[in-house]
Amino acid sequence: MLENDLKFLEETFKQYYFDHFDLIHVPDRSKEREYGYKKFNSGMIRHMSLKTDKDLHLMLMTNVPSDVFCSNGYYSFPNLPMAEKDWKEADLIFDIDAKDLKLSCRKDHICMKCVSCAEISLVQDACPKCKSNKLDLVSLPCQNCISGVKKEVLNLMKILTSDLQIDDKNIRISFSGNEGFHVYVTNSSYNQLGSNERRDLIDYIKFQSAIPERFGFPKNNPSRTSFPDLGDSGWSGRVAKELFGSKSKRSKTITKVISDGQVAYQQKLEEMKNSIGVKIDSNVTSDIHRIFRLEGSLNSKSGLAKLVCQDIEKFNPYIEACLIEDKPVEILANFPIKFSLKNTKFGPYMNEKTSVPKYAAAYMVCKGIASISGT
């Protein structure tokens, strides 16, 4: 990152932390958690311990991190190396990200940035300027991406509260600060699960490895009455809805499913992984020693805040999580696609100098599509 951009982001992030101590707290049982942080242009520092909000605020002011993290795990000695921490339990956390949803809108808001010469262009095989094929993807997610992720979060919530019987009050949802949402389950009996058991839970939530026998179709003598019903709870009901659509189509569909055979049914169930399985990131949920971005902190991929959502359906991250001030800043911007923040439209920019509010400047510098001018 260029010197001026680094200085701008450090000053901006420091100002944000100073102005928003009210949003940044250590989570419950802070003494048992591991903390970590990154600075702009440097690697991760982990295995730290912070006991109170005051410790946290002091750390933010002293180090001006680009990103701050806190463990889902609880340990006897959180600041010792991993092998000596003495793991007790870990919150169950799910990550759903727009980039994993394969939405059709994505192609409309991604660009390539050349690693060699920093040229920005629409998606193509090689840099139009220097012909390098070392290209990074830059995505500015849109409202459709956010709606797609919210839909997955709501499907996950149904499974957590009805199939797994987790109390609503032990679940919270946070916008990640970039393209996704995190769902936290705390204080539940699931905290004791190790990685292997969490993987079984992931298979269940993603609807992976479903077998025909479990959904009413044994190898020999399938019976019409054993197929799932639309009113069934859990996956049976969800499979029935997906398979039959409506009650009136049930009988005709069963006739067809039986005549197509068990292998075809297995195939159908396999495909349902994509349509009704919840698209959580398996690596995140199975990791019991992971550190997660701290709620209230800024995400250096965007300059937006990671925030707890009180009402996920109404939450608009491009307004509510955009908390940097709006003082005008001169930038040199280069991005051939429009985007919107705080109900204001920006771009497209054709390698031009322009003045934008500080929150938009921070967003673009974090995304690597603008630089602070006057260099």
Q: Is 95 considered catalytic here? A: yes
Distance in angstroms (rounded) separating the CA atoms of residues 375 and 373: 5
Give the shortest CB-24-to-Zn ion separation in angstroms.
Answer: 29
Task: Using the minimum distance from each CB to Zn ion, give the nearer residue, 42 or 116.
Answer: 116
The token pair that represents 281 in the structure block: 């990131």
Task: Using the minimum distance from each CB to Zn ion, give the nearer residue, 272 or 337.
Answer: 337
- The residue annotated as part of the active site, out of 97, 229, 260, 311, is 97
Considering only 58, 61, 117, 350, the residue that binds Zn ion (CB under 5 A) is 117
> Taking CB under 5 A as the rule, does residue 90 contact Zn ion?
no
Considering only 29, 54, 102, 129, the residue that binds Zn ion (CB under 5 A) is 129
Task: Using the minimum distance from each CB to Zn ion, give the nearer residue, 91 or 95.
Answer: 95
By CB neighbour count within 10 A (0-12 exposed, 13-18 middle, 19+ buried), where does 324 fall? buried
- The residue annotated as part of the active site, out of 281, 287, 311, 326, is 281
> Taking CB under 5 A as the rule, does residue 119 contact Zn ion?
yes
Distance in angstroms (rounded) separating the CA atoms of residues 61 and 92: 30
Task: Using the minimum distance from each CB to Zn ion, give the nearer residue, 85 or 113.
Answer: 113
Give the shortest CB-348-to-Zn ion separation in angstroms.
Answer: 16
> Taking CB under 5 A as the rule, does residue 133 contact Zn ion?
no
Beta partners for 138? 111
> 324: number of CA atoms within 13 Å, CB side?
33
> Taking CB under 5 A as the rule, does residue 114 contact Zn ion?
yes
Give the shortest CB-288-to-Zn ion separation in angstroms.
Answer: 32
> Taking CB under 5 A as the rule, does residue 127 contact Zn ion?
yes
Instruction: Rounding to the nearest 10 degrees, give the CA dihedral for residues 228, 233, 234, 239.
Output: 30
Considering only 6, 23, 59, 105, the residue that binds Zn ion (CB under 5 A) is 105
Considering all CA atoms of the chain, what is the largest pairwise distance in Å, rounded to the nearest integer?
A: 78
Residue in the structure block whose two tokens are 């995505």: 139
> Taking CB under 5 A as the rule, does residue 140 contact Zn ion?
no
Distance in angstroms (rounded) separating the CA atoms of residues 137 and 120: 10
Q: Which is nearest to 292 in space by CA: 23, 13, 39, 44?
A: 44
Distance in angstroms (rounded) separating the CA atoms of residues 343 and 170: 33
> Taking CB under 5 A as the rule, does residue 203 contact Zn ion?
no
Helices (H), 20-139: 53-63
Give the shortest CB-119-to-Zn ion separation in angstroms.
Answer: 4
Cβ contact 293:97 at 8 Å: no
Distance in angstroms (rounded) separating the CA atoms of residues 205 and 164: 10
Per CB under 5 A, the segment of 66-74, 142-150, 238-246, 308-316 that binds Zn ion is: 142-150
Task: For strands 339-341 and 67-71, give the pairing.
Answer: unpaired
> Taking CB under 5 A as the rule, does residue 361 contact Zn ion?
no
Give the shortest CB-182-to-Zn ion separation in angstroms.
Answer: 19
Considering only 52, 76, 132, 310, the residue that binds Zn ion (CB under 5 A) is 132
Considering only 49, 144, 340, 344, the residue that binds Zn ion (CB under 5 A) is 144
Give the shortest CB-304-to-Zn ion separation in angstroms.
Answer: 16
Cβ contact 67:38 at 8 Å: yes
Task: Using the minimum distance from each CB to Zn ion, give the nearer residue, 90 or 96.
Answer: 96
Per CB under 5 A, the segment of 21-29, 111-119, 172-180, 315-323 that binds Zn ion is: 111-119
Cβ contact 90:191 at 8 Å: yes
- Chain positions contacting Zn ion, by CB under 5 A: 105, 114, 116-117, 119, 127, 129-130, 132, 142, 144-145
- Positions marked active-site: 95, 97, 281
